[in-house]
């Protein structure tokens, strides 16, 4: 394993791109908890990362040491499929602008957040990093996946050609504080929390779950992802590609039952077969990261309990 001396330290000036999103806000929280104080953030009205010149000028003048690139356009199966042009365009622009401007302004260490949907739809399970580009993608999110694959290749190429230390991390399906609870654009876990909560409030007999309930997904509490990202950036190791997950997956039916149990909704489930199932299964192999000594800590039940209490406290955007 190659090591570099340029790991984070407490005097580092660190830019978190996308600090208001679920992933960026979790990384921001984690860095604050760990005692980092020189944190740079900009919300969208202050800095539009789709604007190449503004992004380059910002990084040239701020002179940050490290970057966590969590800014992205993300969404669930319906949004990805319906707004594919927005997903590919915005993600390609953000990645290209930030990663190139990071390089131009001398940032040697950066962490880019990808997604587990970059892997071929039908690849062997659990999915190891080397399966990248070994088969066709899942059609419902292929535009988004192509943009994220471009981000991985940007990091890899700046590492190879210029000796940078840029990480690409591939998180499994995430959930937690600051998630998107919109039923059309969000992912399955926040959608089911909201549906179960509202169904309970109305006294419904059942709630609707999209697809067959048979696809399998691995869910990770976003604070565990943030912990892994900071762990990698604090390590002395050189950049590279890492899966980040829990190593455990469940069917969508099992997920719905767990959510219903935690929310206290006693009705049944109706499966809506007019909605797509998407990828049958995407369980990540976390061996590469585990070998460095990192492991996820939050069980699915514990994470959903915390997330539901955040939802009840109204801290999440609907």
User: Which structure tokens are listed for 269?
Assistant: 């489930």
Nearer to ligand GDP, 181 or 231 (CB): 181
Binders of ligand GDP among residues 65 to 104 (CB under 6 A) are 76-78
Q: Which stretch binds ligand GDP (CB under 6 A): 42-50, 162-170, 210-218, 304-312?
A: 210-218
Instruction: Provide the minimum distance between the beta carbon of 225 and ligand GDP in the complex, in angstroms, as a whole number.
Output: 15
Q: Does 281 bind ligand GDP (CB under 6 A)?
A: no
Instruction: Provide the minimum distance between the beta carbon of 268 and ligand GDP in the complex, in angstroms, as a whole number.
Output: 14
Q: Does 18 bind ligand GDP (CB under 6 A)?
A: no
The beta strands (E) that lie in the chain are given as 14-17, 39-40, 66-69, 109-113, 165-171, 173-175, 206-210, 216-217, 219-221, 241-244, 250-251, 268-272
Instruction: Provide the minimum distance between the beta carbon of 64 and ligand GDP in the complex, in angstroms, as a whole number.
Output: 32
Nearer to ligand GDP, 177 or 278 (CB): 278
Q: Which of 15, 36, 119, 144 is catalytic?
A: 144
Q: Does 207 bind ligand GDP (CB under 6 A)?
A: no
Q: Around Cβ 111, how many Cβ atoms within 10 Å?
A: 24
**Residue with the CB atom nearest ligand GDP in the bound state:** 76
Q: Sign of the C-alpha dihedral, residues 251, 22, 285, 296?
A: negative
Q: For residues 172 and 244, what is the distance between their CA atoms, to the nearest angstrom? A: 6
Q: Does 141 bind ligand GDP (CB under 6 A)?
A: yes
User: CB neighbours of 134 closer than 8 A, spacing ≥ 6?
Assistant: 120, 123
Among 69, 174, 252, 283, binds ligand GDP (CB under 6 A): 252
Considering only CA atoms, which of 151, 154, 157 is closest in space to residue 74?
151
Verify whether residue 144 is a known catalytic residue: yes
Give, as one character, the DSSP assignment of residue 285. Answer: P
User: Which structure tokens are listed for 25?
Assistant: 């806000």
Among 31, 72, 209, 244, binds ligand GDP (CB under 6 A): 209
Q: Which residue has the tokens 């039952």?
A: 257
Binding-residue pattern over the window 229 to 248 for ligand GDP, x denoting contact by CB under 6 A: --------------------
Among 126, 171, 278, 303, binds ligand GDP (CB under 6 A): 278
Among 58, 112, 166, 210, binds ligand GDP (CB under 6 A): 210
Considering only CA atoms, which of 90, 54, 57 is closest in space to residue 72?
90
Instruction: Provide the minimum distance between the beta carbon of 148 and ligand GDP in the complex, in angstroms, as a whole number.
Output: 12
Nearer to ligand GDP, 209 or 260 (CB): 209
Note the Cα 296 to chain centre separation in Å: 14
User: CB neighbours of 312 closer than 8 A, spacing ≥ 6?
Assistant: 197
Instruction: Provide the minimum distance between the beta carbon of 128 and ligand GDP in the complex, in angstroms, as a whole number.
Output: 19
Secondary structure (3-state) at 127: strand
Instruction: Give residues in contact with ligand GDP (CB under 6 A).
Output: 76-78, 117, 141, 173, 186-188, 191-192, 209-211, 215, 217, 252, 275-279
List the catalytic residues.
144
């Amino acid at each position: 394993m190659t090591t570099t001396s340029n790991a984070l330290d407490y005097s580092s000036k660190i830019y978190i791109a996308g600090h208001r999103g679920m992933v960026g806000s979790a990384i921001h929280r984690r860095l604050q908890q760990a005692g980092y104080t020189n944190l740079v953030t900009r919300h969208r009205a202050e800095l539009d990362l789709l604007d190449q010149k503004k992004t380059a000028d910002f990084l040239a003048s701020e002179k940050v040491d490290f970057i966590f690139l969590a800014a992205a356009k993300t969404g669930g199966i319906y949004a990805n499929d319906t707004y594919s042009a927005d997903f590919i365009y915005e993600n390609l622009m953000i990645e290209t602008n930030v990663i190139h401007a990071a390089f131009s302004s001398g940032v040697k260490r950066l962490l880019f957040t990808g997604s587990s949907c970059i892997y071929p739809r039908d690849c062997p399970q659990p999915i190891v990093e080397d399966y990248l580009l070994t088969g066709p993608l899942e059609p419902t999110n292929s535009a988004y996946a192509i943009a994220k694959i471009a981000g991985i290749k940007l990091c890899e190429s700046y590492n190879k050609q210029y000796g940078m230390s840029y990480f690409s991390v591939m998180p499994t399906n995430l959930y937690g504080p600051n998630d998107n609870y919109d039923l059309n654009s969000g992912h399955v876990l926040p959608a089911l929390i909201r549906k179960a909560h509202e169904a309970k409030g109305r006294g419904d007999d059942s709630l609707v779950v999209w697809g067959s309930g048979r696809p399998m997904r691995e869910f990770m509490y976003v604070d565990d992802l943030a912990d892994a990202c900071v762990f990698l950036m604090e390590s002395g190791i050189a950049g590279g590609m890492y899966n980040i997950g829990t190593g455990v997956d469940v069917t969508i039916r099992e997920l719905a039952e767990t959510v219903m149990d935690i929310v206290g909704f006693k009705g049944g489930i109706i499966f809506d077969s007019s909605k797509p199932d998407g990828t049958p299964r995407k369980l990540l192999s976390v061996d590469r990261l585990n070998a460095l000594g990192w492991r996820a800590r939050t069980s699915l039940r514990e994470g959903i309990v915390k997330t539901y209490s955040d939802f009840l406290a109204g801290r999440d955007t609907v």
